[in-house]
C-alpha cells in the first residue's frame, strides 16, 4: 500500500524517464503552497542543469505525461519549471477508504526487517534516576516502539550500570560505616566450595535491614567526593573493584544486594513513565567474557602496553588532532584517543565492559544493528568503543550507532537543576507533572465527572504526556528549555492538547454508537475533508522519516498536525448533524480513521490517552 507521495513519485519518475531523463528527478514532495497544490515536483530544475536544457521545456514534457494520470485533477507549471499537482476528490476518497480499512492506518511494513537492539535508559545501582535519565528513557522507548512497528525484530535493553569503580566505592563506604558487615566480609571465604545457595541467601538477608536504598543514595555521593580528594581511599575502592570483578564471594553477595534494592525503585519509575525493557542485563553480565576477550585482542595484535595499562589504538594511521598543552604550546596527538582496556591496577574499564557487551549481544542475539540512546556528550567514548569493535570483528562497520541527544535545560539555558541547585530526581519530576496536570484539569473543568481513582489515572496520563511530548517534539540532537506550565497546557503544541483531541473523538464516536450511526464510504467534497485525508495519507511518510533518522519528532509532528486537522474538520463539517446520511457515514469513517491513526502515533511516542476527561 503506497501513500500518495510515493505513488505520485513513481508516476513522475516514469514521466522523466519517458522524456529521456533519469527517473531520480521524479521525486514528489508535499506542496509548500497547499493553497495552490497538494504536491510538487522540482526535478525539472535539477534535470535542466544536468542535461543543459531549459527547465520549463522539461517540465512541459513531464506534465504532458502526468495529465493522463486519473488520480490528478490538475497538473500545472509554476515559475521556471516547478510542477504542481492537485489530487482528484475521487482519488482522495479511495485513499481514505484504503487507510480506514487498514488496521495499521496506512503504515507499511519493511520489506527487509532486521534484528535491532536498542540500548537505552542506562540506570545505575545506588543512584536514583534524575532528570538526566529522562531523555534517554523517553527517546529510547519511542525508537524501540517505532522500529518494532515498522517490522524489525527489536530488543530493548536497560543496560543496568551495576559494575565498575562505583561498586568498589560503595563496598568500601558500606564497610567503613558498618563494622558488622566489615567483619563478615573478613569471615567469608573468597571462593567457597561448601557454601549453598541457602547459605548465601542467609548472608544476603543480613544486609536487608542494614543497607537500604536510602543508605546507598546517601553513601555513594559522599564516597565519590572523598575518592577525588583522598588517594588512599581511592586506592582502597579500586582494590575493592578488582576484588569484586575477580569473584570475591562476600563482595559478590553485597553487590547483589545493591542491585536488588536499586532495581525495585528503578522499575517503579520506569513503570510510571510507560517504559519497559525486554532485557535487564547489566554491565556485570559481560564480565565473564572480559578475560577471554582480552586474550583474543592480544592474539589479534590489537592490545598494546602503555604506561602499565593495556590499550587498543583505534585511530587510523596519521589520524591526529591538535592538543593545547599547559604551557600554551600546541602539539599533534593521535585521534581518537586509544581505548583503555585494562587499567594499571588490573581492572576492566568502562569501555572494556561496553566492548564485551557488544560481543555478548552478538553471541546471544546477533543483531544487524545496535542503537545506543545516550547523551550526545558520550560521543567520543562510543567512537572509541565502536572502532575497537570493528577492528576486533565483533560488529560489521555501520552496525553500531550512537543516537545522541541534547540536554533538558532550565530557564538559564543550562542543564536543569532544582531551585537549590541540585539535580532533580526523576521521581520528583514525575510527581511535579502529575500535580500540575491535576491543576490544569480542574482549571479547564475536565474530569469533574470521573471517580477519584479515574481522575488520578487521567492526571497521571496527562502529566506523562506533557513530559514525553515536550521532549519528543524536538529533534533529539537539540536541547530544550523545561517549562512545565507550557508543557501541561491544553492549548498549543503539547501532549495534553493531543490527549484532549483524542478524547474528543472518542466522545463523538460513543454518541454515534448510541444513535446507531455507522461509518461508510468516504466522500471528499469540503476543503476540511480534503485536508484531513491528506494528513491521514502523510502518516507513512512521517514514519519513514522518523525511522531513517532515528528521530521520533517526525511522528510527534504528524500527531500534532493530525489533531489540528481533525479539530478544523470537526468545526467545519458537522458529523452527526449532517443532513445527508451518506455524508454523515463518510465523516464518521474519517473520524474513526483519525482516531485510529492518532492513537497509533501516540503509542509510538509512548503516550496513552484516557477514555474520558
Domains of the chain in start order, with CATH, are 4-87 (3.30.1360.70), 165-273 (no CATH), 281-405 (3.40.50.620)
Looking at the DSSP bridge assignments, the partners of residue 372 are 119, 402
Report the pLDDT value the prediction gives residue 421, as an integer from 0 to 100. Answer: 67
Report the pLDDT value the prediction gives residue 380, as an integer from 0 to 100. Answer: 94
Distances (CA, A) of 385 to 205, 299, 435: 38, 19, 42
Q: How many CB atoms lie within 10 A of CB 430?
A: 20
CB neighbour class for 116 (10 Å; exposed up to 12, middle 13-18, buried from 19): buried
Report the pLDDT value the prediction gives residue 133, as an integer from 0 to 100. Answer: 87
- On whether the CB atoms of residues 404 and 477 are closer than 8 A, the answer is yes
Report the pLDDT value the prediction gives residue 163, as an integer from 0 to 100. Answer: 85
Cβ within 8 Å of residue 186, ≥6 positions away? none
- On whether the CB atoms of residues 340 and 311 are closer than 8 A, the answer is yes
Q: How many CB atoms lie within 10 A of CB 250?
A: 21
Report the pLDDT value the prediction gives residue 427, as an integer from 0 to 100. Answer: 86
Report the pLDDT value the prediction gives residue 420, as an integer from 0 to 100. Answer: 67
Report the pLDDT value the prediction gives residue 251, as an integer from 0 to 100. Answer: 95
Report the pLDDT value the prediction gives residue 333, as an integer from 0 to 100. Answer: 79
Tally the residues of the chain.
613
Question: Among candidates 155, 261, 247, which has minimal Cα distance to 214?
Answer: 261
Residue 39's H or E segment, with its range, is strand 39-41
In 365-494, which ranges are continuous DSSP H helix? 379-392, 426-443, 452-472, 484-487
- On whether the CB atoms of residues 510 and 485 are closer than 8 A, the answer is no
Phi, psi of 593 (to 5 degrees): -70, -40
- On whether the CB atoms of residues 529 and 587 are closer than 8 A, the answer is yes
Report the pLDDT value the prediction gives residue 265, as an integer from 0 to 100. Answer: 84
Report the pLDDT value the prediction gives residue 612, as an integer from 0 to 100. Answer: 95
Looking at the DSSP bridge assignments, the partners of residue 71 are none
- On whether the CB atoms of residues 95 and 593 are closer than 8 A, the answer is no
Report the pLDDT value the prediction gives residue 419, as an integer from 0 to 100. Answer: 65
Name the one residue in this structure whose C-alpha cell is 492506518.
Answer: 105
Distances (CA, A) of 111 to 108, 150, 155, 300: 9, 10, 19, 38
Positions in the chain whose pLDDT score sits under 70? 1, 419-421
Cβ within 8 Å of residue 146, ≥6 positions away? 543, 546, 547, 552, 555, 604
Does this model's pTM top 0.85? My answer is yes
Residue 261's H or E segment, with its range, is helix 249-273
Question: Among candidates 424, 341, 428, which has minimal Cα distance to 389?
Answer: 341
- On whether the CB atoms of residues 270 and 121 are closer than 8 A, the answer is yes
Amino acid at each position: 500500500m503506497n501513500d500518495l507521495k510515493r505513488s505520485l513519485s513513481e508516476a513522475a519518475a516514469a514521466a522523466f524517464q519517458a522524456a529521456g531523463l533519469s527517473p531520480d528527478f521524479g521525486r514528489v514532495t508535499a506542496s509548500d503552497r497547499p493553497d495552490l497544490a497538494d504536491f510538487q515536483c522540482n526535478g525539472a530544475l535539477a534535470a535542466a542543469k544536468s542535461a543543459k536544457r531549459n527547465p520549463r521545456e522539461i517540465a512541459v514534457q513531464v506534465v504532458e505525461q502526468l495529465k493522463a494520470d486519473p488520480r490528478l485533477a490538475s497538473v500545472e507549471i509554476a515559475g521556471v519549471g516547478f510542477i504542481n499537482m492537485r489530487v482528484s476528490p475521487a482519488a482522495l476518497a479511495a485513499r481514505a477508504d484504503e487507510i480506514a480499512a487498514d488496521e495499521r492506518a496506512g503504515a507499511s511494513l519493511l520489506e527487509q526487517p532486521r534484528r535491532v537492539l536498542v540500548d537505552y535508559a542506562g540506570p545505575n545501582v545506588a543512584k536514583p534516576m534524575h532528570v538526566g535519565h529522562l531523555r534517554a528513557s523517553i527517546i529510547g522507548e519511542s525508537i524501540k516502539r517505532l522500529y518494532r512497528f515498522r517490522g524489525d525484530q527489536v530488543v530493548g535493553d536497560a543496560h543496568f550500570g551495576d559494575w565498575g569503580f562505583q561498586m568498589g566505592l560503595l563496598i568500601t563506604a558500606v564497610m567503613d560505616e558498618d563494622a558488622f558487615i566489615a567483619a563478615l566480609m573478613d569471615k567469608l571465604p573468597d571462593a567457597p566450595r561448601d557454601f549453598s545457595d541457602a547459605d548465601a541467601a542467609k548472608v544476603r538477608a543480613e544486609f536487608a535491614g542494614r543497607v537500604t536504598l536510602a543508605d546507598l543514595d546517601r553513601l555513594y555521593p559522599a564516597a565519590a567526593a572523598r575518592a577525588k580528594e583522598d588517594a588512599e581511599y581511592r586506592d582502597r575502592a579500586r582494590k575493592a573493584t578488582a576484588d569484586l570483578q575477580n569473584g570475591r564471594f562476600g563482595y559478590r553477595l553485597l553487590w547483589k544486594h545493591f542491585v536488588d534494592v536499586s532495581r525495585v525503585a528503578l522499575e517503579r519509575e520506569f513503570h510510571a513513565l510507560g517504559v519497559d525493557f525486554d532485557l535487564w542485563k547489566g554491565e556485570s553480565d559481560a564480565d565473564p567474557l572480559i578475560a577471554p576477550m582480552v586474550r583474543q585482542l592480544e592474539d589479534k595484535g590489537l592490545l598494546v602496553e602503555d604506561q602499565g595499562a593495556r590499550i587498543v589504538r583505534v585511530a587510523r594511521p596519521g589520524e591526529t588532532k591538535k592538543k593545547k598543552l599547559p604551557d600554551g604550546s600546541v602539539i599533534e596527538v593521535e585521534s581518537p584517543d586509544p581505548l583503555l582496556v585494562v587499567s594499571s591496577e588490573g581492572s576492566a574499564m568502562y569501555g572494556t565492559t561496553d566492548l564485551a557487551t557488544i560481543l555478548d549481544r552478538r553471541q546471544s542475539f546477533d543483531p544487524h544493528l545496535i542503537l545506543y540512546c545516550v547523551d550526545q556528550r558520550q560521543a567520543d567514548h562510543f567512537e572509541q568503543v565502536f572502532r575497537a569493535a570493528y577492528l576486533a570483528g565483533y560488529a560489521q562497520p555501520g552496525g553500531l550507532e550512537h543516537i545522541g541527544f541534547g540536554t533538558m535545560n532550565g530557564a538559564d539555558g543550562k542543564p536543569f537543576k532544582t531551585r537549590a541547585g541540585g539535580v532533580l530526581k526523576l521521581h520528583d519530576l514525575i510527581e511535579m507533572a502529575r500535580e500540575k496536570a491535576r491543576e490544569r484539569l480542574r482549571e479547564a473543568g475536565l474530569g469533574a465527572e470521573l471517580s477519584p481513582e479515574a481522575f488520578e489515572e487521567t492526571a497521571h496520563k496527562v502529566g506523562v504526556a506533557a513530559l514525553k511530548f515536550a521532549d519528543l517534539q524536538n529533534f533529539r540532537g537539540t536541547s530544550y528549555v523545561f517549562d512545565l506550565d507550557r508543557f501541561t497546557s491544553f492549548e498549543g503544541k503539547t501532549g495534553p492538547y493531543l490527549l484532549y483531541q483524542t478524547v474528543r473523538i472518542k466522545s463523538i464516536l460513543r454518541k454515534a454508537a448510541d444513535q446507531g450511526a455507522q461509518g461508510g464510504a468516504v466522500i471528499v467534497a469540503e476543503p476540511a475533508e480534503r485536508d484531513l485525508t491528506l494528513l491521514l495519507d502523510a502518516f507513512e511518510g512521517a514514519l519513514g522519516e522518523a525511522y531513517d533518522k532515528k528521530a521520533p519528532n517526525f511522528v510527534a509532528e504528524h500527531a500534532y498536525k493530525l489533531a489540528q486537522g481533525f479539530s478544523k474538520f470537526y468545526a467545519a463539517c458537522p458529523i452527526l448533524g449532517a443532513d445527508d446520511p451518506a455524508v454523515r457515514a463518510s465523516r464518521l469513517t474519517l473520524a474513526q480513521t483519525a482516531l485510529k491513526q492518532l492513537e497509533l502515533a501516540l503509542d509510538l511516542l509512548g503516550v496513552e490517552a484516557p477514555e474520558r476527561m
